[in-house]
Amino acid sequence: MTPQHQLITPSTETRAASTPRSAWYPHWKDIATMTAGILPHEPRLTTILALIDRCTAAFEKNDEPAFLRAKLQLSNFIKASTPRAKPSASPPAQSA
């Protein structure tokens, strides 16, 4: 006998979205958003994973102030270590 998989339909998505979420959900969602696009070969990954481990440890202890400090440090580190895109050179103005 194989396990049944629940099909996701608009009605089940709405029901799932209306269920109450943990107070920690927005924090973890922020971390997921911050870390999206960071690739395994990036040198900063080790530091990012260490900061996420600190968030996890605080979460497991239900220590929200420590979690928020680690989350802020993670955010600051990602902002500081993200390469900035070079501005595109606009073509020189042509005179008539």
- pLDDT, tens digit, 9 for 90 and up, residues 36-66: 999 999 999 999 999 999 999 999 999 999 9
pLDDT, averaged across the chain:
81
Residue 50: inside a domain, yes or no? yes
- Domain extent, residue 70, equals 43-79
For the ranges 2-11, 57-66, 84-93, the one whose mean pLDDT is highest: 57-66
Please name which of 70, 86, 81, 85 lies closest in space to residue 39, comparing C-alpha atoms. 81
68: left (phi over 0), alpha (psi -120 to 50) or beta: alpha
Residue 93: inside a domain, yes or no? no
**Mean pLDDT, to the nearest integer, of 78-94?**
73
Residue 27: inside a domain, yes or no? no
Residue 24: inside a domain, yes or no? no
pLDDT-derived band at 68 (thresholds 50, 70, 90) equals very high
Number of structural domains the chain divides into:
1
Residue 49: inside a domain, yes or no? yes
Residue 58: inside a domain, yes or no? yes
State residue 89 phi and psi, 5-degree precision: -75, 125
**Contact 36/82 with Cβ under 8 angstroms?**
no
Helix (H, G, I), strand (E, B) or coil at 8: coil
